[in-house]
Structure formats: structure tokens, C-alpha cells
Amino acid sequence: MTTDQGARSPRTTHPTRRSLHHTVRTGVLLALLLGVGAATLAATELDTLLKQLLTLDIQAAPGFSARVVVPPGELYDPLVMHAQGEAVWLNDDGKERGDKGSRMLAIDATGKVTVLVDADRMKPVSAGFDIAPADFGAYGGQIFALSQPKVGSQNQVENYIIQRIDVQHGQAVSVFCTLPALDAEKVSGTGVDAGFGPPGSPFTGKLYAVTSHNGTIYAVSADGRCAPFTTFDVERHGSPLYLAFAPDGRSMLVSVVRGGLYAARGAAVLRVHADGSIDPKAVVEGGTMLGGLDIAPPGFGEHAGELFVVDVGSFEIPVPQGQRLAADGKVYRVAANGELVLVASGLINPWGLRFVGKRLWVSDINGDFIYGKRELPDGFIVEITPR
């Protein structure tokens, strides 16, 4: 059940930056074809159109404030985030270069973006990643990323791979393992999220990777073994998307979508135990398509310990070129009575959510790069704090 409580607080409106590469290239092309005068007019119209497409109107619910940390203009499809020291590391799915694609980025508290690994080094990291703990074999501090084996939207239904990225030693990239198919039809495609189990918990020592195509969560060990951990009954449970671990570390929380990514007809968060069993009763149900989720830390106002989750809303594929996407993305918290309570609205396609200290960051891909064919750096990040 979803509850939108109270009147909305003042809006956060943020126009896009004007450094979009496609705008520049289009302006040059128009100048060559039409002459400077006509090209200037056309470029002005294009600039106006881009502003209409990419202007943001984020509305925080009472008790919260929202601001845009990184506006459109630098990120393509920002997805999963992890705090790392004073920065936030994230994978930006987009910017293909030959048979490679996606970037690993670091963003500081002011929104400054630094490239850790550029798009010419990796297979597309179109899903989640995490940073290996010190006791994960010899790989402590390295990035393990759930990735497509090849560029191109058609390759989302091939077996996904786990890439190992050693950022500290020459940005070396290698394939750690390939997630095995369940059978000839149930390949480990459409990877979504990945995360290491918390220390001292029954999940410790393994990376867990979610592939929505076959409804499976895989367990990856430091010795290179990659095997199914649990498989969801898609008709009964829905397709798994994002994962987080309960505060006590004894269970895993997984967002699921009923009807599939492109025909969502309901969503929920389910609890998965260390033996792979799935609770029949949902932690929460509601929304259109629930994505990234995380637990509020101490210091996040009166909501410490509560579960926060994004609702992607309608995922428009292919992206309607030249039209605004539906701004029906939302952020919710799960109240003590199990209801979804509105935190922020006006987002486009928010997939990632992560607490960074006492702040909540939400990554929004806006128009999808690979599957939606909107090849613009139109993604953005919003910061939410309690008042």
C-alpha cells in the first residue's frame, strides 16, 4: 500500500548544463549544411528543446529537502553507488567505445566527477558492482562488476560476466567468471545488481549478483566459483532487481517487479534468508517498479533504521526522442506499519539509491542509453536530507 502524506514542500528545479556533446556535434553539422545563419537558428531551437527535455522538477515531501548534486550533462546512465572514503563510486552505463563501454566514476560531495576507469577499458557494466572487502582472497579493494559480455542491447540476454577491476594497479580489467545458465533457455541475462555480504553475517565472504532474466541470485566466491544461490518463481514472486542486507545481516532484502521490466504491473520487497529460502510475505508491496534500496543510518533524523526505496515508475523503452519522459519516479520510505510513504517525487527513471553518511543519494538515468537509444549524457544525481 502506498501513502503520499501531506502537501509537498518547495520544488528543486535545475536546468541541464549546456555541455552536451551531441548538441555541439549537431551545431557543427547544421553549420556545414545550412550556413551559419540557419544553423544558429536551428541550434537555438535544439537548445530550447534540450532544456525542455532535461529540466528537472524534483519535489521533496514535508520533512525532507532535495537538491541536484550532479545535473544532466556529465553522466549517461548512473546506476549503483558505493561510498568509498570521501567520494562515492558509481558505474555510468553508456559512452560505448568499440567493443567496450561504461565508466567507473568517483563523485565528491560537491558533485565533482572524476573518471576512475574510462569506457575504453571494460565490457559494459550495465548492472551493479561492489568493492571487495579485505578478506575476499587476494582481491581486497578491487571492484567486482556484474557486466554484459558484449556491447549492444541484444546482448542483455546472454550469460552475464563478473569483471574484476584493479583500480589501484593500472586499472587492470579481467573476467573473473561467467554466471552459468540454469538451462538452455534460462540464461543469466539482464543483470541488475551485485553486492558483498556484510562481515560477520551468514552471507559474508561472497558476492551476490542478481540476473533478472532467469530470476536468479548467484553467489560468487574468491576461488572463482560462481553458482546459483536462489531462484525466484517469477509468476509467484516476480523478477528480482536490487538487493540490500537487513541491519542485523541475517537476511537479504530484494526488490522485485511483477510483469517484467517493460510491462510492470506491481512491485514488492521480499526477504531472502541465508539458506536461499524466500519469505512468502512481502516486507512491503506497492509502487510500479521498485529499484534500489538501502537502510537509513543513525543520524538520518527520525527515520534511522527505516528502509528507503526508489520507484522507477514507467520505464519507457524505446525512449521517445524529442519528448519529455514521464516524471513519475519517486523515493519512498517504509513506515513501521509496512506502508510506503512518499519522500520525493518528480524523478524520471531513478534506479540507484545509497546512503552516503547522513545523506541519501539517488541516481537517475533519465533516458536509457543502451536499451532506450537516447545516447545523451542526461543522467543526474539527487541528494535528499531530513529537515
279-293, 298-312, 356-370: least confidently modelled range: 356-370
Please determine, for residue 52, whether its predicted confidence score (pLDDT) is greater than 80: no
Antiparallel, parallel or unpaired: β 2-3 and 340-347: parallel
Residues with Cβ within 8 Å of 44's Cβ and at least 6 positions away in sequence, in order, are none
- Residues 100, 23 share a domain: no
- Residues 296, 314 share a domain: yes
Please determine, for residue 353, whether its predicted confidence score (pLDDT) is greater than 80: yes
- Residues 115, 87 share a domain: yes
- Residues 155, 190 share a domain: yes
Q: Which residues pair with 363 in a beta bridge?
A: 352, 381
50: containing domain: 17-54
**What is the pLDDT, as a whole number, of residue 7?**
40
**What is the pLDDT, as a whole number, of residue 96?**
81
- Residues 102, 69 share a domain: yes
DSSP secondary structure letters along 203-219: TTTEEEEEETTTTEEEE
Please determine, for residue 61, whether its predicted confidence score (pLDDT) is greater than 90: yes
- For the segment 297-302, the average pLDDT, to the nearest whole number, is 94
- For the segment 60-89, the average pLDDT, to the nearest whole number, is 95
- Residues 90, 129 share a domain: yes
Residue 150 pLDDT grade (very low, low, confident, very high; cuts 50, 70, 90)? confident
* pLDDT tens-digit map of 223-233: 999 999 999 99
Backbone angles phi, psi at 358, to 5 degrees: -100, 20
Please determine, for residue 249, whether its predicted confidence score (pLDDT) is greater than 90: yes
Question: Domain containing 69 — which CATH number?
Answer: 2.120.10.30
- Residues 219, 100 share a domain: yes
What mean pLDDT is reported for the chain?
A: 87
Check if the beta carbon of residue 256 is closer than 8 Å to that of residue 232. Answer: yes
* pLDDT tens-digit map of 304-352: 999 999 999 988 777 776 677 899 999 999 999 999 999 999 999 999 9
Backbone angles phi, psi at 330, to 5 degrees: -140, 165
- Residues 98, 24 share a domain: no
- Residues 177, 30 share a domain: no
Please determine, for residue 365, whether its predicted confidence score (pLDDT) is greater than 90: yes
- Residues 39, 128 share a domain: no
**What is the pLDDT, as a whole number, of residue 246?**
97
Please determine, for residue 30, whether its predicted confidence score (pLDDT) is greater than 80: no
- Residues 81, 33 share a domain: no
Cell numbers describing residue 41: 537558428
- Residues 336, 254 share a domain: yes
Specify the number of domains making up the chain.
Answer: 2
**What is the pLDDT, as a whole number, of residue 2?**
46
**What is the pLDDT, as a whole number, of residue 224?**
96
- pTM value? 0.87
